Amino acid sequence: MTDTQTQIQTMSFGKALNAGLRKAMQDSDRVLLMGEDIGRLGGVFRVTEGLQAEFGERRVLDTPLAESGIVGTAIGLAMSGFRPVVEIQFDGFVFPAFDQITTQLAKLTNRHEGVLSLPVVIRIPYGGHIGAVEHHQESPEAYFTHTPGLRVVSPSTPNDAYWMIQDAIASNDPVIFMEPKSRYWPKGEVDTSARALPLHASRVVRRGTDVTLIGHGAMVTTLLQAAALAEAEGTSCEVVDLRSLSPVDYGPVLESVRSTGRAVVAQEAPQHTSLGSEIAATIAERAFYSLEAPVLRVSGFDVPFPAAKLEGSYLPDADRVLEAVDRALAY
C-alpha cells in the first residue's frame, strides 16, 4: 500500500531492508552485496530477494561457506574503492570471521592514520523468537560494541531499517548492522521521502512519567508491550529505542531518566559485561542525583542460548520487564 502524496509505504522490516539495499545500489555502482545464498535464493530471510536478477551476479555475489574469506574479500574490495555489504547468514556464524572483523576491519583505518577508509557493512541477523537451533539464535552485539573502530547499529522498525541500511552503506567507517530476525515479518510504515533521524541517534518512542525503559532491536517491541500493560495498572512508562549501540546517543536516554527518576535497561543478550550493563553504569554516573532507585537490568541468562522449546523461559518478556518496573517503583 502506498500514499503517493507523502510517499509513505507499508512494508515488512525485511522488505524495507530490501528496498534500502536496492536504493543504495541504484545510487552507486560501487555498492556490492556478498554472502551465502543471497543471490539466486535471495537469502535465508529473503532480504536480498530479486537483487541479483536486477543488478547481476557481479554485484550480488553468492559466496562459499567461508565467513572469514567473505569478510577478508570485503576488506580488500573496500581498500579498492568499493562499498561491500556482507550478509552473515545467522548470528552464530559470525565467529569464524571474528579475527578479520576485530583485528583487521576495525583497526586498518587507525593503522593507516585515517588515510584509508573501510566502508564495509556487515549485516547480522540476531536474537531469538524464531525457535531456531544452536548457532542460529544468539545476541553477540557486545563483542562488537567493545571493539574500537566499529560502528554498531540495530533498527527496530521498517522505517529505520530502510534508512539506516542506506546510511550504514554511506558511512566511510565499518558498520556492524544488527538485524533483529524476529522483526523481519511484521509490517510498518516507511517514509521513503525523508529520513527521520541520523544513523547514530536514539529516540523516545513512547512518552511516560514514572519509569524509563531502554532497549534496542526486538526488545523495543517487548518494552512497548510492557508499557501498555503498565499503563492499564496506572504506571506511566517512557520507552527509549537506542538504535545505535556504538556510539550510543545518551542525550535522550539521560533526559528521560532525569525526568522519570527510574530506569530499566532490557536486552536479549546475557547480562554479564553486556551493553545493557554499560548503559546502566553510564546512567548511574551521569544522572545519579536524578535517580529515585537503582538502575535495573533485564536480560537473557548467563548461559548458552537454549534449545527452541526453552527459549520462552530464556528471553525477557513483558512480564519480566514489569517485574523490574515494580521493583524500581518500590524504592
Count how many domains the chain has: 2
Do 186 and 67 fall within a single domain?
Answer: yes
What is the CATH number for 207?
3.40.50.920
The pLDDT, as a whole number, for residue 6 is 64
pLDDT in tens, 241-259: 999 999 999 999 999 999 9
Look at residues 171, 191, 211 and tell me which one is the last residue of a structural domain.
191
The pLDDT, as a whole number, for residue 309 is 85
**Band of pLDDT at residue 133, cut at 50, 70 and 90:** confident
Q: What is the pTM of this model?
A: 0.95
The pLDDT, as a whole number, for residue 134 is 80
Active site residues: 136
Question: CA 293: distance to chain centroid?
Answer: 28
Residue 196 lies in a domain: no
pLDDT in tens, 180-231: 999 999 999 999 999 889 999 999 999 999 999 999 999 999 999 999 999 9
Do 224 and 187 fall within a single domain?
Answer: no
pLDDT in tens, 264-305: 999 999 999 999 999 999 999 999 999 999 999 999 999 998
**Band of pLDDT at residue 1, cut at 50, 70 and 90:** very low
Do 75 and 212 fall within a single domain?
Answer: no
Strand 31-35's sheet: what is its strand order?
60-62, 31-35, 83-87, 121-126, 175-180, 151-153, 244-246
Residue 197 lies in a domain: no
Q: pLDDT exceeding 70 applies to what percent of the chain?
A: 98
Contact between 199 and 160 under an 8 Å Cβ cutoff? The reply is: no
E-only strand ranges, 128-260:
151-153, 175-180, 187-191, 203-206, 211-215, 237-241, 244-246
Is residue 167 scored above 50 in pLDDT? yes
Q: How far apart are the C-alpha atoms of 160 and 70, rounded to whole Å? A: 26
Q: How far apart are the C-alpha atoms of 257 and 241, rounded to whole Å? A: 13
